[in-house]
Amino acid sequence: MFDLFPPQAGVHRMPPAAEARSERREPRVEPRAVPRAGEIVFERSSRARNYRLTLRRDGTAVATIPLRGSEREALRFVEQHREWLERARERQKRRPRAAEVWTVGTHVLWRGELTEIRVASAPAELATLPLPEAFGAAPAPAKPQVCLAADVFRVPRFDGDLRPTLEAHFLRRAKIELPARTWELAAVTGVEVKQVTVRNQRSRWGSCSANGTISLNWRLVQTPEFVRDYIIHHELMHLREMNHSDRFWARVEEVCPGWREAEAWIKRNGALVGL
């Protein structure tokens, strides 16, 4: 978390695991599975100086071949590091992960809790069924809805992947809630903010620029409030100290004494927001 970043821009990076994503964009050399080796993909990289073995979130092991390297050498390298790979796979299994596809019954992180997606209203075709007296005379809403704890969201239908729809809802909520909270905390801490934007950052929780713009990841509506507030405080304090110096952390400590717990939460649960 204690990243290096250019002096002009305060950047709060995700835990290192999230960085693996960027490697997916590297040019690939005929990805193929190797018998016995499990799912191993070979990738040639002009930037790599050595053979490298990494385990992606999806469980795929990636063997990176340096510019002048060969697949045969890479395979030998994989063989030498088989034990490491197995341990890494075990660790990965134990880590809490976000479900890829969201359906009714899936638990997703919402407001800091793993919350089950539940049906909030009857599907249209069931609405015509006679209901017992106790249910009252109110007709069921025509549009299907799901709920996460007390929050209700419309969905086009109950079957299929609900994730794109729900994430779009989360983004809309974030665009209302996160700037509001930022302005609030800016007022409390006396930091001058010019603009707050909410974005779909793939590897950052937040960032800020010297001109006073703070950008926040919409996924902060999924995290607990103390984590959301910490990230906002972190970026606010960057507007005073554009670095991660002791002075910066002293400022964070002053306005957000619980920041260490928030960092620990992020480290443990970052993967639950699918990053």
**Is residue 204 at the binding interface for Zn ion, with CB under 5 A as the rule?**
no
Instruction: Compute the least distance from the CB of residue 204 to Zn ion, in Å.
Output: 9
Instruction: Compute the least distance from the CB of residue 234 to Zn ion, in Å.
Output: 5
Compute and round to an integer the Cα radius of gyration of the chain: 23
Of 12 and 169, nearer to Zn ion (C-beta) is 12
CA geometry: angle at 262 spanning 24 and 213, to 5°?
A: 70
Of 3 and 225, nearer to Zn ion (C-beta) is 3
Instruction: Compute the least distance from the CB of residue 244 to Zn ion, in Å.
Output: 6
The beta strand positions in 30-174, using DSSP E, are 40-45, 52-55, 61-66, 107-110, 113-116, 118-119, 145-148, 151-154
Question: Would you give the binding string for Zn ion spanning residues 12-51, x where CB under 5 A is met?
Answer: x---------------------------------------
Which pairs with CB-CB distance under 8 Å and at least 24 residues apart come from 61-69? 61/37, 61/85, 62/23, 64/26, 65/29, 69/44
Total number of residues that touch Zn ion (CB under 5 A): 1
Nearest residue to Zn ion by CB is: 12
Instruction: Compute the least distance from the CB of residue 266 to Zn ion, in Å.
Output: 12
H helix or E strand, kind and range, residue 163:
helix 163-189
Residues that bind Zn ion (CB under 5 A): 12
